[in-house]
């Protein structure tokens, strides 16, 4: 396995047989994964929502019931909507790789790959963009909080080195972190309560205001944009939005530069 592949710190194994879970846990720990948890099918969604893993491995063997439904349930949960999912598929089973991919799995592997190949596939799928990692980290910081408040969300945003802003479902900014303040030179009071599309202009990408309803339905939005600044012209940037990070609060990650045209 290449040394430049990111080692995911948190992995969830969904498998019915305890000995299968234990064997994969031992393998991943041997490759440097800091936290690996296993869960049977009935507890997999709850466990994933609790720990917010970097990647989920589902072992779709003869004992696993309805793995396609499990993938669908994980994709329907806001806390795991964007979590990469790898499925190890048993041969001669009733589940097809096409059904799993259509349900939202990122990768389907044939059963019984060598440990290095399986681990490499998990690590590559887990190596997501910095924006998705920032959203995952916010969810993970809030994971121990039963019903996070806006203040707790604001504290979680503050832990990131990327520019983050939270909005309500009308699109109005509710919290932001220091990197966004530094990038715009706006005071927090200048931003709180304003629609996000007054801070982020289209900048050659999709217009956020006209796509807001679609974003709330789909759950994510990514586009080129132009970040407004107090003392200078708007700066090229890209935005990644994730819906319902906390109930009806949504988080945008803003990075300098533009996405490819």
Alpha carbon distance, N-terminus to C-terminus of the chain: 32
Which residues are bridge partners to 60 per DSSP? 89
pLDDT digit string (tens) for 190-246?
A: 999 999 999 999 887 889 999 999 999 888 999 999 999 999 999 999 999 999 888
Structure letter (DSSP) for residue 76: H
Q: What is the DSSP string of 111-156?
A: SS--HHHHHHHHHHHH---HHHHHHHHHHHHTTT-SS--HHHHHHH
Q: What is the pTM of this model?
A: 0.75
What average pLDDT does the segment 167-183 reach?
Answer: 96
> Can you tell me the distance from the alpha carbon of 59 to that of 136, in angstroms, rounded to the nearest whole number?
23
The pLDDT of residue 3 is 46
Q: Which domains does the chain have, with CATH numbers?
A: 10-128 (3.40.50.2300), 131-256 (3.30.450.20)
| Residue corresponding to tokens 């972190």 | 177
Q: Is the pLDDT of residue 181 over 90?
A: yes
The least confident of 123-137, 147-161, 205-219 is 123-137
Higher pLDDT residue, 93 or 200? 200
Coil, strand or helix at 39: strand
**Percent of all residues in the chain with a pLDDT value above 90, rounded to a whole number:** 56
Handedness of CA 13, 16, 22, 27 (dihedral sign): negative
Q: Is the pLDDT of residue 112 over 50?
A: yes
Q: Is the pLDDT of residue 136 over 90?
A: no
Residue 108: partners with Cβ closer than 8 Å, 6 or more residues away:
86, 87, 89, 97, 100, 101
Q: Alpha carbon 2 to chain centroid distance? A: 24
> Can you tell me the distance from the alpha carbon of 125 to that of 55, in angstroms, rounded to the nearest whole number?
7
* H runs (alpha helix) in 18-114: 18-30, 41-51, 67-76, 97-103
Averaged confidence pLDDT in the chain: 88
pLDDT digit string (tens) for 22-46?
A: 999 998 888 888 889 999 999 999 9
Sheet holding 163-167, edge to edge: 173-176, 163-167, 249-256, 235-246, 220-227, 200-201
The least confident of 87-91, 99-103, 144-148 is 144-148
Confidence of residue 180 (pLDDT cuts 50, 70, 90): very high
């Amino acid at each position: 396995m290449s040394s430049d592949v990111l080692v995911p710190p948190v992995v969830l194994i969904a498998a019915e047989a305890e000995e299968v879970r234990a064997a994969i846990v031992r393998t991943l720990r041997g490759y440097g994964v800091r936290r690996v948890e296993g869960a049977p099918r009935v507890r997999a969604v709850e466990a994933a929502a609790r720990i917010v893993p970097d990647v989920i491995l589902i072992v779709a063997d003869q004992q696993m019931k309805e793995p396609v439904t499990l993938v669908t349930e994980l994709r329907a949960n806001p806390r795991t909507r964007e979590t990469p999912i790898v499925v190890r598929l048993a041969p001669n089973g009733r589940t097809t790789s096409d059904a799993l991919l259509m349900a939202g799995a990122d990768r389907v592997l044939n059963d019984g790959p060598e440990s290095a190949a399986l681990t490499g596939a998990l690590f590559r799928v887990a190596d997501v963009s910095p924006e998705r990692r920032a959203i995952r980290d916010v969810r993970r910081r809030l994971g121990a909080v039963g019903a996070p408040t806006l203040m707790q969300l604001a504290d979680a945003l503050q832990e990131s080195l990327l520019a983050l802003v939270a909005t309500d479902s009308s699109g109005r900014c509710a919290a932001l972190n220091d990197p966004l303040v530094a990038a715009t030179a706006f005071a927090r009071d200048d931003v709180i309560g304003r629609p996000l599309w007054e801070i982020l202009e289209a900048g050659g990408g999709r217009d956020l205001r006209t796509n807001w309803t679609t974003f709330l339905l789909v759950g994510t939005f990514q586009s080129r944009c132009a970040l407004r600044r107090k003392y200078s012209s708007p700066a090229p940037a890209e935005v990644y939005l994730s819906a319902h990070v906390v109930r009806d609060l949504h988080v945008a990650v803003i990075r300098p530069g533009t996405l490819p045209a």
